[in-house]
Amino acid sequence: MFQPCNKYILIERTKLEKTEQESLIQLPDGFKPKVMAHELVKIVAVAPGVKPPLGSGQRAVVLSHMIEEVDFGEGLVYLILENGVCGTLPEDE
């Protein structure tokens, strides 16, 4: 299992249901809709020394643009630096 280092946090992105609707307006090729600024994630693993103390299983609100997608051949993982965490919520029950 991947273990983060250097103030990185391994996260699991929450799956959001997207409903595709046909647009009544023609948009330019390559147009991407605005991405939400924040995202709710689940913390999977934390590098030693991350402050505030965060732990596996906690839910956190993070800045979406700071999430890094890493594929090193053993599967895609999502990482964020500790300063990308805006706050935490109680653990899932």
Residue 28 lies in a domain: no
pLDDT for position 23: 63
- Cα 47 to Cα 29: distance, rounded to the nearest angstrom: 41
Residue 39 lies in a domain: yes
How many domains, in total, are found in the chain? Answer: 1
Structure tokens at 37: 């600024």
Angle (CA) 11 1 51, round 5° = 45
Whether the predicted pLDDT of 89 surpasses 80: yes
Where residue 53 falls among pLDDT bands split at 50, 70, 90?
confident
Structural domain containing residue 56: 1-14+34-93
Whether the predicted pLDDT of 1 surpasses 90: no
| Strands laid side by side in the 8-13 sheet | 68-71, 76-81, 8-13, 38-46, 59-63, 85-89
Whether the predicted pLDDT of 32 surpasses 90: no
Residue 24 lies in a domain: no
Residue 6 lies in a domain: yes
Average pLDDT of 32-56? Answer: 88
Report the CATH number at residue 69: 2.30.33.40
